[in-house]
Structure 1
Amino acid sequence: MARIAVIGAGMGAMAAAARLAVAGHRVTVYERSATYGGAVGRFERDGFAYDTGPGLLHLPAVYRDLFVKTGRKPLEECVRMTQVDPASRHVFPDGTVVSLPNASRGGVVAALDAALGAGAGERWGDFLGRARDAWDRSRRPLLEEPLREDWQVLGRDPYPAIRQRRLLRGPRSAGTVAEVGAWELGDSRLAALFDGYALSYGLDPRHTPAGAALLPYMEQTFGSWYVRGGMRALAHAVYERCLERRVEFVFHADVVRIVEKDGRAAGVELAPGPSDGAATVVDADHVVAGTAPAALVGDELWRDDDVRPRGGGAGVGTPSVPGRFTVLLALRGGRPDGTAHRTVIHSPGRGDEAGAVFSGRTAERPTVTVLRPDDPTTRPDDGHEAVTVTATVAPHGPVDWTDAGLRERYADVLVEVAGAAVPELRERLRWREIRTPADTAARTGARGGSVPAPSLAGADGRLLRPANSTRLPGLYLVGGEAHPGGGLAHAGMSGALVAGLIVEGADFRGSR
């Protein structure tokens, strides 16, 4: 039985802790804040409740597997999950509106044909077919296996783009999200749909490889799920599973150093407490870091040819990964029957929006996502409604999101846009609460409040995340800043990978 110290109580860290504990190890989680869940937070006021992180779950099989492997009760006995149908409603700048059914490729094709015109659905369906090929080519090395030493093979884009003859340039294939939209989808609204998927994950459509087709493919194939009580209820269920497996949690425990001995990680040093005034060193056989560990060790963690952290959230350089600007709305009046859970209102200037977000400015008219869950736990009674409005924005630093005037002005922009999804929004408004990347940074410690994107193949490996094992023996990385990147499902995958590496060692070849 090994002693394992886990830094941070995010979803990936807790997933690893539960799996390691059930394998017989003694696991202690050290969390600097007062609670678990990392970015999966909850805000409550006057009987209203809101997720302050992700609002929907994709690839629920990741958490089903976690619960099957760590206890008797399956996931569905620990939380109440429902498929969101329609999966999303989209409002385009020309006024076109389309609702896409959940996990039904044929239904999506039919809905797009009906709303956008004959042939639009077929083009999207053909695109998803190529996305499936990219999924089949990259799924295991990208998501289910430890990052390979020859990770450069993932630098090639797995998306089988159509070879096309471009005017004056000869045959070419779409290499980015934006080029797929322009060259293959053939409709500005379909292009906006694909752009919107990339942007919602914090990826620049102008430069993100076409392999990002995996993102709409995963959602439209495996579905979108809501957890009653919000994603915080999922975090609570994972925390409870950890406790059942006798994982120990120490809150208000700030790890300031990873202890090294005989050339390997040998424990953690905790900051002095408010009463004792002395640092505490805790011995461990393995250390699992759910936070960026570069500042906690004395040696370089990566070799020259390793995948290295990106700027945002990695503690290195200027943040470049976007964050989220969120407005929580408390509304008078009940949620009408037939209301879509999620509505995406697309920006009229897609290129302008991406140019602003990824150069450290505020977009004049962003793409806005409106979440309206049909969940009694989110509101004081049926005569009120809790609504969450979100946009992808530049991180804190390039934009000063502590500026009170800017926060209020940008909240006004999002609320005005959201009026396309929520009639009489301003008349119904009781109060609003604003959350910016500066708030995310303060709550989670993520540099600039950046939200890490999932790893993607292509782009010469620039969108990969560092391997779960490091140059320092005994130190492992888990969560959004490690392979296979950000997002609820990917965090759960990283937990499975780290547990496998510790339990099975060098023989571990990935999840099955």
Structure 2
Amino acid sequence: MSMSVHKKIIIVGAGIGGMSAAIHLAAQGHAVTLLERQPRVGGKLNQIEQDGFSFDTGPSLITMPYVLRELFQAAGRRLEDYLDLQPLDETCRYFYRDGAILHAWRDRQRFAQEIARFSQHDAEAFWRFFNQARTIFAASADPFLYNSLGSPLDVFQTFLRFVWRGHYTTPEGEQDEPGERLRAVLTALSPSTLDQHVGSFFEDAHIRQLFDRYATYNGSSPYQVASVYSIIPYVELADGGWYPCGGIYALARALEKLAKELGVTIETSCEVSRILVERGRATGVVLDDGRVLRSELVVANSDVVTTYRELLSPAVRKQQRARRLEQLEPSSSGFVLLLGTRKQYPELAHHNIFFSDDYRAEFVDLFEYKIPQRNPTIYICATTRTDASQAPAGHENLFVLVNAPYLTARSNWQRDAPAYRNLVLDALARYPQIELADIRENLVYEQILTPQDFQRNYGANAGSIYGLSSNDRMAPFTRPGNRASDVQGLYFVGGSTHPGGGVPWLCCLARLWRA
């Protein structure tokens, strides 16, 4: 979006996408008002503080920190003056049901050596996988991440220019060849799934499961999502994982502070009931309290499907467009346990994955049967490994997450949550590498979050965490664009629009708002 004349702009939703857009627009001199239904900014990136425990309730890992730096640079600021980002030496610790433990080190050489404990073949294949994923990322970043998505022909032409450009040096100092770029583009456009792509490199089941799990970063299935999404593990492997001191919510505080310095007006506990559309153009919003706020442009950081269903009146929304959006598959949701324990569990790293012994069955439950996983993989984040301030001395703040199906007519988490909580804790007790059977008896704080909470608190379509899934091969082209095609002056940001969910992608999206 290019605007040379300063305008009055309203942004609906102060999630990461909305605040990033607000910062870019305000830095260009536009008058920006940011409206948030919750008592504080952040959207799904939020925080619960209770009894000395602090829990981040949304994203738990920062990748691509250079995108955040670019955002602050666009406002003439330094990220380091607002946020203390700490690199994690061990990105994640993987626990397998057969008793194995795998340490995913930030140092790639050390990580390859760790893989070699399972398979020497896979340790060598790791470098081939990484190099190809790097080239796929270089090929796909412009058409899929950093710019509004054009037609398939535009994307194809972008790929052709990438393949035939001259020699260049990669970020790791290596020379990239046209032949390598062509193979990467063919992989990116191939009908192969991420699981099939991973299987073409790795033989060991432990390693394949590790790389398959990256499909869940955008709420999809590795057995359905396209091989181009091998860029997700590349992003983590290239720059590592980061943690902002004070918790991930420190990022929301930093963006809020910067936005206010730039003159952005932020109203919290302020719910938008309708986007005003007059003569086919967005002209402002109507609030729940009856106030009418006028603007020249409206940016919706709310879920696109929810926006069409609830914020545009039937008189102005195109029914064909609304029906097409309703048919798009939501991403997975999540079942979350926030557990404060009086005991510490030193075998845990900052990030931990407890893999099930039947990974494919999990995604059948998620996307075919649409039921809570009967044999789930479980994620635990223990931020006290890096930041002792997040729990009282001698205690743990455990964020426990299981992928859950998006809401359907059969969903009843009010009924099912207590039993599913017990299923998850029972599953954790069965891993022989670590003693977690006594979590219940050491609990001093507990809260459960279900897909219904994500729907109610954040207006997430069907309770999805990441907006729309990427399971369909045409997802990059069917995902809603950033400009409404049927309402002039209405734009979209957030996980349900291009380029998709995840903190770095939402901040990448902010590049679209440069003048």
Q: TM-score range by the shorter chain?
A: 0.7 to 0.9
Matched, 1:206 2:206: no
Q: TM-score, normalised by structure 2?
A: 0.85
Distance in structure 2 (CA, Å) of the matches to 1:366 and 1:108: 25
- Counterpart of 1:254 in structure 2 is 271
SS of the equivalent of 2:201 reads helix
Matching residue of 2:57? 52
Offset, 1:462:
5.4
Residues 397-408 of structure 1: matches in 2 within 5 Å? 397=408, 400-404=411-415, 406-408=416-418
Does residue 234 of structure 2 align to residue 235 of structure 1?
no
In structure 2, the residue matched to 1:378 is: 390
Q: Which residue identity lines up with residue 272 of structure 2 in the other structure?
A: V
1:62-83 Cα deviation digits (max 9, x unpaired) = 11111122143x2222122111
| Counterpart in the other structure of 1:477 | 492
How far residue 218 of structure 1 moved from its aligned partner, in angstroms, is 0.6
Change (3 A) 1:41 1:310: farther
Distance (whole Å) between structure 1 residues aligned to residue 156 and residue 215 of structure 2: 19
Counterpart AA for 2:445: W
Q: Deviations over 1:164-212 (max 9, x none)?
A: 9xxxxxxxx8701222244432221122112211134311111111111
> What's 1:353 paired with?
362
Aligned-pair CA distance for 1:476: 0.9
Find the aligned partners of 1:285 and 1:163 in 2 and give their Cα distance: 43
More helix by share: 2
Q: Distance in 2 between matches of 1:95 and 1:437?
A: 31
The match for 2:452 among 415, 438, 441 is: 438
Shift of 1:448: 2.0
Letter in 1 for 2:79: L
Structure 2: how far apart are the matches of 1:270 and 1:412?
Answer: 41
Q: Is 2:39 aligned against 1:34?
A: yes
Corresponding residue for residue 22 of structure 1:
27
Could you tell me how far apart the structure 2 residues matched to 1:154 and 1:428 are? 56
Determine helix, strand or coil for the equivalent of 1:185. coil
Q: CA separation in 1, counterparts of 2:465 and 2:63?
A: 17
Residue by residue over 1:52-104, the C-alpha shift from the partner in whole angstroms, topping out at 9 and shown as x without a partner, is: 101111111111111122143x22221221111211111223322110111x3
Residue 398 of structure 1: CA displacement?
5.2
Alpha carbons 1:18, 1:242 under 8 Å: kept: yes
- The count of residues paired between Structure 1 and Structure 2 equals 473
Q: Which residue of 1 aligns with 2:3?
A: none
Other-structure match for 2:98: 94
Q: 1:190-242 CA distances to partner (integer Å, 9 max, x unpaired)?
A: 22112211134311111111111111111111111111121111101101111
Paired letter, 1:484: P
Instruction: Output the CA distance in 1 between the equivalents of 2:34 and 2:291.
Output: 15
Q: CA RMSD in A?
A: 2.9
Q: Which runs of 5+ in 2 are unaligned?
A: 1-5, 160-180
Q: Structure 2: which amino acid aligns with 1:423? A: E
User: How far is the alpha carbon of 1:5 from its aligned partner?
Assistant: 0.7
Tell which deviates more after alignment, 140-149 or 352-361. 140-149
TM-score (norm 1): 0.85
Q: How does 1:36-435 map to 2 (within 5 A)?
A: 36-72=41-77, 74-102=78-106, 104-114=107-117, 116-150=118-152, 153=155, 160=183, 175-271=192-288, 273=289, 279-291=290-302, 292=304, 293-295=307-309, 296-297=311-312, 298-300=315-317, 316-317=326-327, 320-334=330-344, 336=346, 339-359=348-368, 360-373=370-383, 374=385, 375-381=387-393, 383-397=394-408, 400-404=411-415, 406-419=416-429, 420=431, 423-424=435-436, 425-426=438-439, 427-435=441-449
Which residue number in structure 1 is paired with residue 167 of structure 2? none
Of 150-159 and 30-39, the range deviating more from structure 2: 150-159
Q: Secondary structure at the match of 1:469?
A: coil
- Cα distance 1:299–1:152, how it changes in 2: closer, same or farther (>3 A)? farther
SS of equivalent residue, structure 1 residue 58: coil
1:508 counterpart residue number: none
Between the aligned partners of 1:309 and 1:78, the Cα distance in structure 2 is: 40
1:235 and 1:50, CA in 2 relative to 1: closer, same or farther beyond 3 A? same
- CA spacing shift, 1:415–1:125, aligned 2, 3 Å: farther
Structure 1 residues 185 and 155, CA, compared in 2 at 3 Å: closer, same or farther? farther
For the structure 1 residues 33 and 218, does the alpha-carbon distance in structure 2 shift closer, same or farther, using more than 3 Å as the test?
same
Tell me the distance in 2 between the aligned counterparts of 1:432 and 1:255: 32
